[in-house]
């Protein structure tokens, strides 16, 4: 959405404060790192783990033998202590790569007076925190075109350094990137790009069989369109401007266009088996982090199991 400036440029100062310049990113990064670590620690403390049964070497749990299973799977030593037969289950170990894409384009720098941080800052904080949570769970994470996958415990520091020193153009969507089969992609963006660009990006990311999650991060004014009277709007990435004489008369049309845009996105992700989440910057970042953590890996686990032992090997590749 374009920024609004009712008479003055006060609403647009957010773009100047966090307009994607390297110095601004470097200045904000220590605060964002601390916030990401705080959120990650809070979420990790409340998690019950991501373990599941599957092919691996580490013991997970005993469970009752089910009629029809192969007798060789019975753990006779454990079964001898009870009147039931038990199977020794091992922990699923097909760790895979999760690619995280925080949109750092100019439109993400917007922050209205209703919030404390911009869409850009929220995207970076959630990206860093999610990376930490995933690494703690044994996964590898990277940023397309910015940082190669890593399982390092210092993943937040590595990501911050890569983002600050990234000389490439700050595009809204990960262009020219094709993840390996069974990798997973998380895109955190305001998703105000034309639907044709979003469809093309999703087709490219999912062509190899990768699973993914789209997160639309929006400022509350982009949801409610609270503007009244004479308001000037401008496009931060295209420099287009438009003036509304009575902005309140535009609200119904705006809400209809947003609903239609989201319906088109949802139809595309549903077709691909991806997930779609809308997150407002006046909501807690913890909520989004928990939702993403619960969804990541589920689709890949089902895909690997359907392919059998050979398919599990793909889960170890980027």
- Shared domain for 153 and 69, answered yes or no, is no
Does 150 map to a domain?
A: yes
Judge whether 241 lies within some domain. no
Maximum average pLDDT range among 53-57, 93-97, 239-243, 250-254: 250-254
Q: How many domains does the chain have?
A: 2
Whether 74 and 134 share a structural domain: no
| Segment 196-248, tens digit of pLDDT | 999 999 999 999 899 999 999 999 999 999 999 999 988 877 777 889 999 99
Q: Is residue 34 part of a domain?
A: yes
More confident residue, 281 or 239: 281
Q: Is residue 2 part of a domain?
A: no
What's the predicted TM-score (pTM) here?
0.75
pLDDT at 39: 94
Of residues 22 and 291, which shows the higher confidence score?
A: 291
Task: State whether 65 and 148 are in the same domain.
Answer: no
* Residue range of the domain that includes 111: 19-51+94-229+247-314
Considering the domain architecture, whether residues 132 and 184 belong to the same structural domain is answered as yes
CATH number of 185's domain: 3.40.50
Cβ-proximal residues to 170 (8 Å cutoff; 6+ apart), any chain: 20, 104, 105, 106
Residue with more model confidence, 63 or 160: 160
Query: Do 201 and 65 fall within a single domain?
Result: no
Do residues 81 and 173 both lie within one domain?
Answer: no
Question: Picking from 71-85, 105-119, 200-214, 262-276, which range would have the lowest pLDDT averaged per residue?
Answer: 71-85
Taking residues 244-253, report their average pLDDT.
93
Which of the listed residues 90, 109, 139 is the one where a domain comes to its end?
A: 90
Q: What percent of the chain has pLDDT over 90?
A: 57
* Digit-coded pLDDT (tens) for 19-44: 444 456 668 899 999 999 999 998 88
Q: Are residues 110 and 133 in the same domain?
A: yes
Identify whether residues 120 and 168 lie together within a single domain. yes
User: Quick check: is 242 in a domain?
Assistant: no
Tell me whether residue 13 is in a domain. Answer: no
My answer on whether 69 and 136 are in the same domain is no
**Same domain, yes or no, for 117 and 79?**
no
189 and 291, same domain (yes or no) = yes
Q: What is the pLDDT of residues 43-78, one digit of tens each?
A: 887 554 444 444 444 555 678 888 777 788 788 888
Q: Are residues 47 and 77 in the same domain?
A: no
């Amino acid at each position: 959405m374009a920024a609004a400036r009712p008479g003055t440029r006060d609403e647009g100062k957010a773009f100047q404060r966090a307009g994607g310049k390297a110095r601004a990113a470097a200045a904000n990064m220590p605060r964002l790192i601390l916030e990401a670590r705080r959120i990650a620690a809070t979420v990790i403390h409340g998690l019950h783990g991501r373990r599941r049964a599957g092919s691996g070497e580490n013991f997970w749990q005993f469970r009752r033998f089910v009629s029809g299973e192969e007798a060789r799977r019975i753990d006779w030593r454990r079964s001898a202590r009870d009147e039931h037969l038990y199977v020794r289950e091992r922990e699923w170990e097909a760790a895979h790569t999760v690619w995280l894409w925080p949109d750092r384009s100019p439109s993400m720098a917007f922050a209205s007076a209703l919030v404390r941080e911009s869409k850009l800052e929220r995207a970076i904080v959630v990206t860093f925190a999610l990376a930490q949570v995933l690494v703690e769970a044994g996964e590898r994470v990277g940023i397309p075109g910015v940082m190669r996958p890593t399982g390092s415990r210092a993943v937040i520091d590595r990501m911050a350094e890569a983002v600050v020193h990234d000389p490439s153009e700050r595009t809204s969507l990960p262009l020219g990137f094709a993840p390996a089969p069974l990798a997973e992609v998380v895109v955190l963006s305001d998703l105000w790009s034309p639907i044709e660009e979003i469809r093309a990006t999703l087709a490219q990311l999912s062509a190899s069989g990768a699973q993914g999650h789209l997160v639309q991060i929006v400022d509350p004014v982009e949801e409610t369109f609270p503007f009244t009277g004479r308001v000037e709007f401008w496009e931060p990435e295209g420099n287009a401007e438009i003036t509304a004489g009575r902005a309140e008369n535009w609200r119904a049309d705006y809400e209809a266009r947003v609903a239609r845009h989201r319906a088109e996105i949802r139809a595309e992700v549903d077709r691909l088996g991806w997930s779609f989440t809308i997150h407002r910057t006046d909501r807690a970042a913890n909520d989004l982090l928990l939702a993403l953590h619960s969804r990541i890996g589920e689709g890949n686990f089902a895909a690997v199991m359907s392919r059998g032992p050979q398919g599990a090997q793909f889960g170890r590749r980027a």
